[in-house]
């Protein structure tokens, strides 16, 4: 299948960046996805789970964009879903709206650490996109 994808970002390089999450406490998996819900690269997630995360993540990012726009707050940056079992954070990669990153963490993760690591990861991915 040929997809219109950001040509500069190779799947392999992106996967390498995501591997950095192996050192962040409590992180269970991470998925980089296009704004229309396709997985681009993932870390520690099986194929089915990462495809679902990509789809739901893209809906949330789109709803976040719609909500921020509705409130006159500009562009969507990130959203975090917290539950008693842990947290999921969805963050936009770079300044384009073309992709976002979803990271799932258990309750042993520290939210501040998770957000900080995710922001760093997004910056690294953005550099790959637009060096």
Partner 1 sequence: MSGVEAGEFKIVFTGPMGAGKTTAIAAISEVEPVRTEVENTDRVAHAKESTTVGFDFGRITLADGSVVRLYGTPGQMRYRFMWDILGRGAAGVIVLLDASAPGALVQLDVFVDAFIPHVAHGALVVGVGRTDVPNAPSTDAFAARLDARGIVAPVLSVDVRRQGDVMMLVRTLVCILGSHTAHGVPA
> What does the alpha-carbon distance between residue 89 and residue 38 come to, in Å, rounded to a whole number?
17
> What does the alpha-carbon distance between residue 58 and residue 36 come to, in Å, rounded to a whole number?
6
63-102 mask for partner 1 (x: CB under 8 A)? x-xx---x--------------------------xx----
CA distances from 42 to 27, 30, 66, 70 (A): 13, 6, 26, 31
Count of residues that bind partner 1 according to CB under 8 A: 25
Smallest separation (angstroms) from partner 1 to the CB of 61 = 8
**Contact status, residue 87 vs residue 105, Cβ threshold 8 Å:** yes
Smallest separation (angstroms) from partner 1 to the CB of 37 = 5
Residues lying near partner 1 in the complex (CB under 8 A): 1-5, 34-38, 51-52, 54-56, 58-60, 62-63, 65-66, 70, 97-98
């Amino acid at each position: 299948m040929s997809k219109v994808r950001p040509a500069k970002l190779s799947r392999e390089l992106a996967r390498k960046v995501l591997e950095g999450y192996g050192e962040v406490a409590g992180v269970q998996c991470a998925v980089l996805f296009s704004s229309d819900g396709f997985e681009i690269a993932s870390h520690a997630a099986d194929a089915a789970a990462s495809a679902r995360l990509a789809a739901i993540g893209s809906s949330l990012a789109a709803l976040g964009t719609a909500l921020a726009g509705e409130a006159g707050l500009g562009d969507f940056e990130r959203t975090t879903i917290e539950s008693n079992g842990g947290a999921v954070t969805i963050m936009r990669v770079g300044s384009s709206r073309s992709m976002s990153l979803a990271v799932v963490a258990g309750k042993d993760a520290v939210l501040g650490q998770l957000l900080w690591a995710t922001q760093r990861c997004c910056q690294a991915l953005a550099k790959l996109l637009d060096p």
